[in-house]
Amino acid sequence: MKPLLDGLRRLGQYPSALVGLAIIFALVGTAVFTVVTIPYGQALELWRGGEPWRMHPVNARPVWVDRIAGNNSPRTMVVSSADAVIEQEPFVGGSRVRIPLDFDFGYADFPSELNLFLTSTHVEREPFVRLTWETPDSREFILGGRRLAREERVSISQDWELERRLGRVPHVGLFAGPAEDGPPQVLEGRYRLMLDVILFEEDARIDADLVVYGRVHGLAGTDHQRRDLMVALLWGIPVALAFGLLAAVGTTVTTLVIAAAGVWYGGWVDAVIQRLTEVNIILPMLPILVMVGTLYSTSIWVMLGVVIALGIFSAGIKMYRAMLLPIRESPYIEAAKAYGAGNARIILRYMIPRILPVLIPTFVTLIPSFVFLEASLALLGLGDPVLPTWGKVMNDAQTQSALYHGFYYWVLSPAALLMLTGLGFAMLGFALDRVFNPRLRTM
């Protein structure tokens, strides 16, 4: 494999190869990091949505988008009773607890939502809580009282009664200054949500988390299900790379072996392979995949299998055949026959290694095309139902009319990652092509 190594050494002369390699290494490194920090099971769990994301805002933009736009949109704040100075007055058969949840709000925009999560450890008798909102300018709003189940979610934003009283949605009204006319202005300063709790059991305890949902979140933002898109963007890397690599390896290796066998045996073997290829070339791949996805399974492994199966008898066979035909006649093959090498040995050890260097560039540029194919399938709604992938993100974005609502980040970040992947492999592939196909090289 010396010519191969020599070729790889020459790669250093091509800056595009180095850039491509840097991109690929970065992607692979991130992929490894992702898989280690968010294990597969956890990733699926997260991507299923729901409970883990209750403290995340809906459709929040990435922070950097906000920064570029020069805004100072609120981030999500969680004010926990664990940090609060709690006053407790026990009485026979219970206690009275005052929990002040204090926080400073210094953003230019209103929060996107306001929720209070309460956990109580009572056994039988439900505690009672009364909520009071205090603004920095000492106005007070009674948010009402209620009995508490063990897990209670108080959606302040969806308190219709309060909304009617404020004349605005609560998460705006509660943060607005006193001015009555004109658009509401944020009043910056220290807010307090006071919880007056009466516990009817001596051992009972209560914990509270006030979540002031922001309008920006993290580097990737969140989607309509509050999920952090970063999970999908990160997990999309190993999925895309694995799919692309496996599909490229699978199709290239099998195609190569089949083409070589056809060339070597010739006769009817070759004829059958050629006819199969010709039939397969005119079969449209995407509709078949859509059918498989609709009627059978959209599991990524099934799709991978179908992609490889359809990719085996592809136009590649014709190309490899053209390259292998002269090799079959080459003297070193004749010599191998003359010392008794068998058919399998000649195909695998003598014919295929000869064209391997020429194939490497093709192979490298093939990887992103399979990555794109996987993303296209997901975009068409045929993505793996459980795996977080770039295609899935774009599919969600499409169904939620992300662009119409101005959530550009939702489409652009997975698209950018796809392009980056394509760019990395393409830059490396083109440089490899120069190295291994000297005809393309200029003096």
Partner 1 sequence: MNASAREVRSSVPGPVLSARDLHTWFELRQWGFLRVGSVRAVDGVNFDLQTGEAVAFVGESGCGKSSLARTLLGLHQPTRGEVIFEGRSLGTLDGAERKAYLARVGYVQQDPYGALPPFMDVRRILHEPLIVHGVRNRAERDQRAREALEEVRLSPPEDFLSKFPHMLSGGQQQRVVIARALILRPAMIIADEPVSMLDASVRVEILQLLRRIQIDHGLTLAFITHDLSTVRHFAERIFVMYAGRIVEQAEVNELLNHPQHPYTQALLAAISDPDPDNARQQREVPPGEPPSLLKPPAGCRFHPRCNRMIAGTCDREYPPDLEPRQGHGTACWLYR
Helix (H, G, I), strand (E, B) or coil at 309: helix
Q: How far is CA 298 from the centre of its chain?
A: 17
Binding of residue 340 to partner 1 (CB under 8 A): yes
Minimum distance between the CB of residue 8 and partner 1, rounded to whole angstroms?
14
Record the tokens describing residue 420, joined without a space: 């980056």
Minimum distance between the CB of residue 357 and partner 1, rounded to whole angstroms?
8
Q: Which stretch binds partner 1 (CB under 8 A): 108-116, 142-150, 349-357, 377-385?
A: 349-357
> 268, 286, 220, 242: which is closest to 63 by C-alpha?
220
346 HSE (CA, 13 A, CB side): 24
Binding of residue 164 to partner 1 (CB under 8 A): no
Q: Which is nearer to partner 1, 50 or 342 (CB)?
A: 342
Q: Pick from 334, 344, 406, 437 the residue near partner 1 by CB under 8 A.
A: 334
Give the position of tokens 């209103």. 110
Spatial neighbors of 4 by CB under 8 A, at least 6 apart, are 356, 357, 360
Structural contact between residues 247 and 308, judged by C-beta atoms closer than 8 angstroms? yes
Structural contact between residues 389 and 383, judged by C-beta atoms closer than 8 angstroms? yes
Binding of residue 341 to partner 1 (CB under 8 A): yes
Binding of residue 1 to partner 1 (CB under 8 A): yes
Binding of residue 265 to partner 1 (CB under 8 A): no
Residues linked to residue 79 through DSSP beta bridges, in sequence order: 210
Q: Which stretch binds partner 1 (CB under 8 A): 22-30, 246-254, 278-286, 344-352?
A: 344-352
Binding of residue 430 to partner 1 (CB under 8 A): no
Q: Which is nearer to partner 1, 287 or 340 (CB)?
A: 340
Binding of residue 344 to partner 1 (CB under 8 A): no
Minimum distance between the CB of residue 439 and partner 1, rounded to whole angstroms?
17
Q: Which is nearer to partner 1, 199 or 333 (CB)?
A: 333
Spatial neighbors of 141 by CB under 8 A, at least 6 apart, are 132, 133, 135, 162, 165, 166, 174
Binding of residue 438 to partner 1 (CB under 8 A): no
Helix (H, G, I), strand (E, B) or coil at 12: helix
Minimum distance between the CB of residue 331 and partner 1, rounded to whole angstroms?
4
Residues linked to residue 213 through DSSP beta bridges, in sequence order: 113
Q: Pick from 54, 125, 153, 345 the residue near partner 1 by CB under 8 A.
A: 345
Find the distance separating the first CA and the last CA of the chain, reported in whole Å: 25
Q: Which stretch binds partner 1 (CB under 8 A): 42-50, 226-234, 331-339, 421-429?
A: 331-339
Restricted to residues 350-389, the positions that interact with partner 1 (CB under 8 A) are 350, 353-354, 356
CB atoms within 10 A of CB 415: 15
Q: How far is CA 236 from the centre of its chain?
A: 4
Binding of residue 405 to partner 1 (CB under 8 A): no
Q: Would you tell me which residues interact with partner 1 (CB under 8 A)?
A: 1-4, 330-332, 334-342, 345, 349-350, 353-354, 356
